[in-house]
Structure 1
């Protein structure tokens, strides 16, 4: 499934996020992490039939409201609230799409799995980048498609980090 670029102002969204971002833009939860999450989640999502716009927006928004690089248990809730507030400004999602996006953001760090292919693809992308903080992703928290891609994609993350 593709989305129309007219429905999405990527540059405007990124500029907005950067202005309000409270931790280091190039830190462990910053833009480089988001781009890797987008890469991983998009690859998994293509194989699973996930909504590509929701996946991309998740990657850019899931850690955008962090107030700390360390423990920040409310960052998912704040990120979901931001995504909901920005719908209609930088992107236009249907009611179903915004529900998927907000659910994925809100619960992304709670160690859950989900039966919805879009939500799980988002979480897979985030979990596949745990190596950046020295954690090996656990296949029991990944979709079978992500677990298969893990060995293929993780070596690429070395190049994406540069």
Structure 2
């Protein structure tokens, strides 16, 4: 079975719903992390990390919208709003600082211009947890994920430009 990530909120290549758009920076969304579901994790998976990344942000390094580490291997879904303070993160899971400067989900907020891509990824890891804190950077988490990855599954939505 292939490692697959899906969401009831959107499909691959679809426009991100307003519920998942940031409320600020010129946007008026609900800033709710989407419900996510995954299956087919690689054998030996001990934990998961979820990331949301916009490679199109005009920063020279993209934009990290959400990073959740230390999700137990027994968990295969998160409800809508889990990253937005609405409950639903499993015990032990830890949200780290994003490019908004604080931990938690930050929705799509592209500047006027072309469409942006929002890459939701679940990473399967060979360790029970990463040694990170809420103040850790997405780059540090990414470095650790790189060294402990058993596989990843992604789902990409778009927002902005002509797609919003």
Q: Same fold (TM over 0.5)?
A: no
TM-score by length of 1: 0.28
Larger strand percent = 2
TM-score normalised by the chain length of structure 2:
0.28
Determine which structure has the larger helix proportion and give its number: 1
